[in-house]
């Protein structure tokens, strides 16, 4: 008998809140550590399709946007959106090599007309959509005939070394009520059958193509990694709400766990994601 398929767990409002110091820490630490390699990979995939009008959903602090602006021909229009205005503000402040249209937008209710784009791209944002089917349907609505949706999601937390080690450290630090953001949301949406089911329910005509992309994550120190994850993601709010241990203490515990696993000095671990492509 087949094992039951994991249900899609909608993220909470707190899971989708990137505010306060998070955008700055996210850009400083998380982007070079885990997002940059996948941004380069996604950019290559976009360029290969030679789009005329590109919509990026959940652009965050602009890791993919900046690469698209540099790599795509000047005649290709790029529109970048994010639900969180603080993340969008930080992305705009970083700047791009050529003009990009920036706009605050909810992926579930895109403020664009039907058929406005021939490619929609989203790096590590789909996990945060409360109604994923609706968001996928919106992406399809704004695509022209022959257009495509490209997006990436993180694989299981066990396949991502830094996140997994810190998650286990926080379970030990808060045994009665562990802060589960990372396992629940960023790494909680990787069931290919479920993703395919939701895409087909959103109106796409053919099944999606999945590709597993594994690479290495590097950081100057275990302390950098601990700070990035514990203070540069919504894990921060979960840890802070528990009060004891404090955020600083929890960060130190995470650092100690990373040192025990990877040693002192520069650290390196495996990261893994799924890249999904589907035609309109």
Confidence (pLDDT) at 201: 98
On the question of pLDDT at 114 being above 90, the answer is: yes
77-82 sheet: strands from edge to edge? 101-104, 77-82, 53-56, 117-123, 143-154, 267-279, 209-219
Confidence (pLDDT) at 153: 98
Q: Quick one: fold of 14-279?
A: Rossmann fold (3.40.50)
On the question of pLDDT at 17 being above 80, the answer is: no
Q: What is the mean pLDDT of residues 107-117?
A: 98
On the question of pLDDT at 110 being above 50, the answer is: yes
Q: DSSP string of the chain? A: -PPPPPPP-PPPTGGG---TTHHHHIIIIIIIIIIHHHHHHHHHHHHHT--SEEEESS-TTTHHHHHHHHHS-TTSEEEEEES-HHHHHHHHHH--SS--EEEE-BTTB-SS-TT-EEEEEEES-GGG-SSHHHHHHHHHHHEEEEEEEEEEEE--GGG-HHHHHHHHHHHHHSTTS---HHHHTTTS---HHHHHHHHHHTT-SSPPEEEEEEEEEEES-HHHHHHHHHHSSTHHHHHHHH-SS-HHHHHHHHHHHHHHHH-SSSEEEEEEEEEEEEE-
Confidence (pLDDT) at 6: 44
pLDDT tens digit sequence for 181-196: 999 999 999 999 999 9
Q: What is the mean pLDDT of residues 125-142?
A: 97
pLDDT tens digit sequence for 32-74: 899 999 999 999 999 999 999 999 999 999 999 999 999 999 9
Confidence (pLDDT) at 30: 87
- Report residue 9's pLDDT band, with 50, 70 and 90 as the boundaries: low
- Report residue 29's pLDDT band, with 50, 70 and 90 as the boundaries: confident
Q: Where are the domains of the chain?
A: 14-279
User: From CA 18, how far away is CA 129, in angstroms rounded?
Assistant: 14
Q: What is the mean pLDDT of residues 84-102?
A: 93
Confidence (pLDDT) at 5: 38
pLDDT tens digit sequence for 138-163: 999 999 999 999 999 999 999 999 99
């Amino acid at each position: 008998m087949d094992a039951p398929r994991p249900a899609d767990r909608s993220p909470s409002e707190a899971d989708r809140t990137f505010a306060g110091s998070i955008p700055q820490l996210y850009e400083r630490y998380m982007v070079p550590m885990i997002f940059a390699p996948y941004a380069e990979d996604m950019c290559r995939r976009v360029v290969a399709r030679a789009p005329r009008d590109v919509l990026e959903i959940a652009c965050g602090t602009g890791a993919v946007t900046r690469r698209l602006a540099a790599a795509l021909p000047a005649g290709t229009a790029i529109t970048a959106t994010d639900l969180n205005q603080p993340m969008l503000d930080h992305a705009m402040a970083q700047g791009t090599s050529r003009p990009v249209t920036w706009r605050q937008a909810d992926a579930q209710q895109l403020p664009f007309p039907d058929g406005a784009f021939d490619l929609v791209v989203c790096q590590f944002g789909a996990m945060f959509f409360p109604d994923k089917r609706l968001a996928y349907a919106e992406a399809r609505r704004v695509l022209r005939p022959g257009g495509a949706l490209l997006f990436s999601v993180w694989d299981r937390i066990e396949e991502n070394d830094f996140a997994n080690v810190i998650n286990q450290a926080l379970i030990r630090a808060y045994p009665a009520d562990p802060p589960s953001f990372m396992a629940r949301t960023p790494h909680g949406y990787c069931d290919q059958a479920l993703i395919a089911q939701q895409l087909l329910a959103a109106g796409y005509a053919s099944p999606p193509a999945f590709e597993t992309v594994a690479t290495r994550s590097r950081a100057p120190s275990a302390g950098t990694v601990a700070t990035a994850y514990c203070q540069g993601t919504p894990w921060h709010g979960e840890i802070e709400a528990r009060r004891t241990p404090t955020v600083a203490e929890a960060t130190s515990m995470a650092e100690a766990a990373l040192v025990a696993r990877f040693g002192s000095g520069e650290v390196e671990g495996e990261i893994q994601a799924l890249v999904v492509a589907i035609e309109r």
